[in-house]
């Protein structure tokens, strides 16, 4: 089970505040180290936890039709600048013998995102967790997110989003993937074209 060392976080935040030339003891900042420690405990609660373990109860699959969940909101932290990125996830999986409760898929996303991440790796970790937990023959994960490190620094592209795709099993086949992406796209405005290839896991 992941845990954070709050005392070390508080000491580090106080040092950072002093390093930027401010006074950690002044009224507006006196409680900031504690607040940041609380925040980090929430943002990084998934460190060291296997996302597959978050899926919870499973049930006998009634058929082999794809299960699709759209527009699941998530937030994570970019490991390069420790700035938040947030957006929506679309998940499709083909049941094996078992299906998950709908909340179980959301819990997997929450677990995988609650750690320093790259968006490309996050999608792959979600797909791998669902594949492993459900012995699924096919998983597809599309993430569409806005990054603080893009909107708040450098080029400051406040409206830019990043779309990545991770596929496992039968959904690595372009035709099968295109069909599921079309189903995800029905009623959703944040899904890429069917021709999008899996995003490489390159750092920014």
pLDDT at residue 83, as a whole number: 94
What's the pLDDT score for residue 191?
A: 56
Q: What is the pLDDT of residue 188?
A: 54
Beta strands in the chain (DSSP E): 58-60, 67-78, 84-94, 98-100, 116-117, 138-147, 162-169
CB 119 within 8 A of CB 145: yes
pLDDT at 190: 54
Query: What Rg value do the Cα atoms of the chain yield, rounded?
Result: 19
Q: How far apart are CA 46 and CA 130, in angstroms?
A: 16
Which of the residues are catalytic?
A: 78-81, 119, 147, 149
Please tell me the class of the 6-43 domain.
Answer: mainly alpha
Residues contacting 90, CB < 8 A, separation 6+: 68, 69, 70, 71, 72, 141, 142, 143, 144, 184, 188, 190, 191
> What residues does each domain of the chain span?
6-43, 51-185
In the chain, what percentage of residues exceed pLDDT 70? 90
Provide the pLDDT for residue 185.
Answer: 85
User: 51-185 maps to which CATH number?
Assistant: 3.30.1130.10
Q: Please tell me the predicted confidence (pLDDT) of residue 61.
A: 85
Q: Give per-10-residue mean pLDDT for the chain (204 aa).
A: 84 98 97 97 95 94 88 97 96 94 96 97 98 96 93 82 96 95 74 47 41
Contact 181, 98 (CB under 8 A): no
């Amino acid at each position: 089970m992941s845990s954070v060392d709050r005392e070390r976080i508080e000491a580090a935040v106080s040092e950072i505040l002093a390093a930027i030339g401010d006074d950690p003891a002044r009224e507006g900042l006196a409680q900031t180290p504690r607040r940041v420690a609380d925040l980090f405990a929430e943002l990084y609660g998934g460190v060291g936890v296997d996302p597959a373990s978050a899926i919870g109860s499973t049930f006998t699959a009634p058929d082999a039709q794809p299960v699709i969940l759209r527009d699941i909101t998530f937030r994570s932290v970019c490991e390069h600048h420790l700035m938040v990125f947030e957006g929506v996830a679309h998940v499709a999986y083909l049941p094996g013998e078992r299906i998950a409760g709908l909340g179980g898929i959301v819990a997997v996303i929450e677990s995988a995102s609650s750690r320093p991440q790259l968006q490309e790796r996050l999608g792959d970790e979600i797909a791998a967790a669902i594949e492993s937990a459900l012995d699924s023959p096919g998983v597809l994960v599309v993430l569409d997110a806005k990054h603080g490190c893009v909107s708040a620094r450098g080029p400051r592209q406040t409206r830019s989003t990043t779309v990545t795709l991770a596929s496992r099993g039968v959904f690595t086949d372009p035709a099968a993937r295109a069909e599921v992406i079309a189903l995800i796209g029905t009623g959703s405005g944040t899904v890429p074209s069917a021709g999008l290839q899996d995003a490489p896991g390159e750092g920014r």
